Amino acid sequence: MRQHPDGLPVAQDLQAVHRVLEESFQDHFSSYRESFPEFIMRLREDPGHRWDHWWLATVEVDGEQLPAGAVVTTVLPEDAEGFEGTYVDYIGVHRRARGRGVAKSLLNTVISETARRGGNRVGLEVDADSPTGADGLYTSMGWVTTYRTQSWHLDLDLR
Show Cβ contacts of residue 82 under 8 Å, excluding neighbours closer than 6 positions: none
Q: Which amino acid, 117? A: R
User: How is the chain split into domains, by residue range?
Assistant: 11-140
Give the model's confidence band at 31: pLDDT under 50 very low, under 70 low, under 90 confident, else very high: low
The domain 11-140 having CATH identifier 3.30.70.920: the answer here is no
The 8-class DSSP code of residue 78 comes to: P
pLDDT value for 30: 60
What angle is formed at CA 109 by the lines to CA 52 and CA 86, rounded to 5 degrees?
60
Residues 61-87, mean pLDDT to the nearest whole number: 95
Predicted confidence (pLDDT) per residue in 94-142, tens digit: 988 988 999 999 999 999 999 999 999 999 998 777 777 788 889 899 9
Alpha carbon distance 102, 108 (integer Å): 10
Q: Is the pLDDT of residue 74 over 90?
A: yes
Distance CA 32, CA 13 (A): 21
